[in-house]
Structure 1
């Protein structure tokens, strides 16, 4: 993000944690840059957008598997609220598996569940705190995500094991499957349904996102080792694949050519 955008992260109420992993609001506070980046993301998100003219809409943004570089991106969008859904919640809440949302932006009202359509009507005119309050009233009364609590527990334990954070490199997929007493095939199926990505692809994206938050604070080789890469060249190759340029180029502003924004094109 640039300093032209003001970001604020809200605390997820305890009652919403079975459904939601994060809530943030973003608002333009200055002229937006000529171009900016949508980085890869493992989450499916509910997004309420407000355009400069006051028009509002509510969409679902699926996981992004590659970075996109846009010119004139979101110039009409003055602010938005982004609600990150937890693993295994897309189908019970939206009526579609997460895999069907990868790389897509869909109007919330177009999704098949009555809950999704009601949410589209209810939250489109709400501010961040009001969105949180409405979700806290609605979601706890719905059936537990994914219906099968044991499958949900396995999926979320696997997501935690394959996630990168300070002091924790992602585990190997085969080790996670063995620890959770499921086959690698079962684990892949759980991830495809509940996250939209394979376990390996999830871990790869999450690891690159960690590099984005940590670099260029220290030594590249040390960062690679701490993030679970074999070596610096492994990190560079993964970063280039997902971001389109190697880390040094990205952090010095040598980015791929931007193209007209289609980030919120309905597909």
Structure 2
């Protein structure tokens, strides 16, 4: 985050919790950087953005499997609201498998569910501070038939997530604890998250490194979150981020490329 950006976390009403885990508002404050990084992300997000010419649009951003580095194009985004969908929310809300959205950025209006088209039309002009209340009005009750499946998926994602001083659980152990086969767990993740369980855990662990790199030496950080050693952490980081940790944190990044508004499926 740079001083040019103002990011605020907005409250998520309890009625939205089955669908949305958090809402963030980001706006430009002064001169924007000429280049920026999209880091890997396990979530599918609804994004309402405003460009510097006043144009507004609503997008769906699928799970990001690897980092990408971009140069600012002719059109600059001056503000956006990002809503992270909870595991298992994509199909009932948008009518698509999460796996089909992985690595994609598509207009919300193009998703098959009527709810998606309604959200695209209704959210595009909503002010950031009004977004939680408007979502609470627009989103339907969570389908009762999906609740046990979604609870199973969210228990699995919690077990495979990295926490300070705690490594993600092994996929085999998670499947055993939840009384499902590893194949069932993979299918559950493909449908509801868009990633395999192993790739989900890998991304989450690298994101932990990104957020906590300044808190401990590399070797100590690697050991605390379950890497075999520092080399193992460096390998995973390089694979997902395109450069090793030391290069990333000293600004030696891959060449930035122009950012496109979206890619059609």
Question: Which band: TM-score by shorter chain?
Answer: over 0.9
Normalised by the length of structure 1, the TM-score is 0.95
Distance 1:181 1:73 in 2: 49
Residue number in structure 2 paired with 1:151: 149
Deviations 1:153-212 (A, max 9, x none): 111100000011223220000000000000000000000000000000000000000100
What is the alpha-carbon distance in structure 2 between the residues aligned to residue 95 and residue 73 of structure 1? 32
* Structure 2 counterpart of 1:185, from 183, 186, 211: 183
Q: CA deviation at 1:73?
A: 5.5
The alpha carbon displacement at 1:11 in A equals 2.2
Shift of 1:35: 0.7
Mapped partners of 1:30, 1:132: distance in 2: 26
Residue in 1 that maps onto 2:90: 90
**C-alpha distance in structure 1 between counterparts of 2:151 and 2:236, whole Å:** 29
Deviation string 1:119-141 (CA, Å, 9 cap, x unpaired) is 11111000122221111123253
**Residue equivalent to 1:9:** 9
Give, in whole Å, the separation in 2 of the partners of 1:251 and 1:74. Answer: 28
Q: Helix, strand or coil: the match of 1:238?
A: helix
SS at match of 2:214: coil
CA distance in 2, matches of 1:166, 1:89: 27
Q: Shift of the alpha carbon at 1:53?
A: 1.6
Residues 71-220 of structure 1 mapped to structure 2, 5 A cutoff = 71-72=71-72, 76-144=76-144, 147-220=145-218
**Residue aligning to 1:43:** 43
For 2:226 and 2:22, locate their aligned partners in 1 and report how far apart those are by CA, in whole Å.
25
Equivalent residue number for residue 252 of structure 1: 250
2:195 & 2:202 partners in 1: Cα distance? 10
Query: Structure 1 73/44 Cα, relative in aligned 2: closer, same or farther at 3 Å?
Result: farther
Deviation at 1:52, TM superposition (A): 1.0
1:261 counterpart residue number: 259
TM-score by length of structure 2 reads 0.96
| Count of residues paired in the alignment | 265
Give a deviation string over 1:207-235, Cα, whole Å, max 9, x none: 00010000133211110011211111100
**What runs of 5+ residues in structure 1 fail to find an aligned partner?**
none
Cα separation, 1, equivalents of 2:239 and 2:261: 20
Tell me how far 1:151 sits from its aligned partner: 1.4
Work out whether residues 6 and 27 of structure 1, in 8 Å CA contact, stay in contact via their aligned partners in 2: yes
Choose which of 235, 239, 242 in structure 2 pairs with 1:241.
Answer: 239
Contact persistence 1:74–1:261 (CA under 8 A): no
Q: Which moved more, 1:224-233 or 1:61-70?
A: 224-233
Q: Secondary structure at the residue paired with 1:6? A: strand
Distance 1:185 1:219 in 2: 37
User: Structure 1, residues 77-125: CA drift from partner, whole Å, max 9, x if none?
Assistant: 1100000000001000000010000111111111111111111111100
Residue 31 of structure 1 is matched in structure 2 by 31
